[in-house]
């Protein structure tokens, strides 16, 4: 396993691999890995001949007052976790390598970026779309792997790839959860023992929605109200939103049919947590 820090060398390495007929898989990350990241890497390893994990804490996707400086980082630990999966390369650039002096170009996916998390983190998805566009060019892989936990990010990136004709397939990997049901996240490290217990209410709310859907409920307002009731039992959990929408354009639905995304975000102590489930409804 090799670490590359220069854009030109990373691109040349991938282009040479593709010239020899190899299928390249890309796993974009901000590091501080957990089992969810490793599952992305394992999926890429199973599908591809060569796997590149990018490790870059992207400053442009943090809004003012967010945790860019405090975001957890441990490169040596991350490297060991990457090596244990059998990844071929880590692309680990410095900020000036990605955003040199004079950088002035940004990519924005309209509409999809302004909903849900976009309402609470203005500019976040512009930062995501910009850095991922750069990574698709620096690591021109045929396949790119992202976690379903970041459902809105997935929708934004699928639209990005379709609209800008990137020659890469975006592959969603199911959310990996702790045994308790809590969705794995690097920001879970911010949770104390009591906060970690309280955070389980997010998964409980989604399970409540699943139970209602299984029972035949199709009215989104009934489902959202039931989820809010579950979360309201814990005043320490500050709900930001519950969204019940289609899974492509993220538009709200009143009656559930087809592929429906139910997503939520809440603050628990210092941590901002997101979670979701996708339902196929006939």
- Residues labelled catalytic: 37
What is d(CA 105, CA 137) in angstroms, rounded to the nearest whole number? 14
What is d(CA 203, CA 109) in angstroms, rounded to the nearest whole number? 29
- Within 8 A by CB and 6+ apart from 230, the residues are 201, 204, 205, 208
Burial state string for 249-266 with b = 16 or more CB within 10 A and e = fewer than 16? ebeebeebeeebbbbbbb
Going by C-alpha positions, the residue among 230, 247, 248 that lies closest to residue 239 is 230
Q: DSSP of 39-70, one letter per residue? A: HHHHHHHHH-SEEEEEE---GGGSPTTSSTTT
Going by C-alpha positions, the residue among 24, 146, 4 that lies closest to residue 79 is 4
SS3 for 254-273 is CECCEEEEEEEEEEECCEEE
Going by C-alpha positions, the residue among 9, 56, 49 that lies closest to residue 29 is 56
What is d(CA 7, CA 127) in angstroms, rounded to the nearest whole number? 18
Give the full edge-to-edge strand order of the sheet including 258-268: 237-246, 258-268, 271-281
* 62 Cα distance to chain centroid: 14
Helix 124-138, helix 7-19: angle, nearest 10: 50
């Amino acid at each position: 396993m090799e670490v590359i820090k220069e854009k030109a060398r990373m691109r040349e390495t991938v282009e040479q691999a593709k010239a020899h007929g190899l299928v390249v898989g890309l796993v974009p990350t901000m590091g501080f890995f957990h089992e969810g990241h490793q599952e992305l890497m394992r999926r890429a390893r199973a599908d591809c001949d060569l796997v590149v994990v990018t490790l870059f804490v992207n400053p442009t996707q943090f809004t003012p007052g967010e945790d860019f400086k405090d975001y957890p980082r441990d490169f040596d630990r991350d490297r060991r976790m990457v090596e244990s999966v059998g990844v071929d390369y880590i692309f680990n650039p410095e900020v000036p390598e990605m955003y040199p002096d004079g950088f002035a170009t940004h990519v924005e996916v309209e509409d999809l970026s302004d909903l849900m998390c976009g309402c609470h983190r203005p500019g976040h998805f512009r930062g995501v779309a910009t850095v991922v566009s750069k990574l698709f060019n620096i690591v021109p892989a045929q396949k790119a792997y992202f976690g379903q936990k970041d459902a809105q990010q997935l929708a934004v990136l699928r639209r990005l790839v379709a609209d800008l004709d990137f020659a890469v397939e975006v592959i969603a990997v199911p959310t990996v959860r702790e045994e308790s049901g809590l969705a794995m996240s690097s920001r879970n490290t911010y949770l104390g023992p009591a906060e970690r217990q309280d955070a389980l209410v997010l998964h409980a709310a989604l399970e409540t929605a699943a139970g209602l859907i299984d029972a035949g409920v199709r009215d989104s307002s009934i489902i959202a109200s039931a989820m809010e009731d579950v979360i309201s039992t814990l005043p320490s959990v500050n709900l930001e939103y519950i969204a019940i929408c289609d899974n492509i354009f993220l538009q709200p639905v009143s009656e559930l049919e087809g592929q429906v995304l139910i997503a939520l975000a809440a603050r628990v102590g210092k941590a901002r947590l997101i979670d979701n489930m996708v339902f196929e409804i006939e």
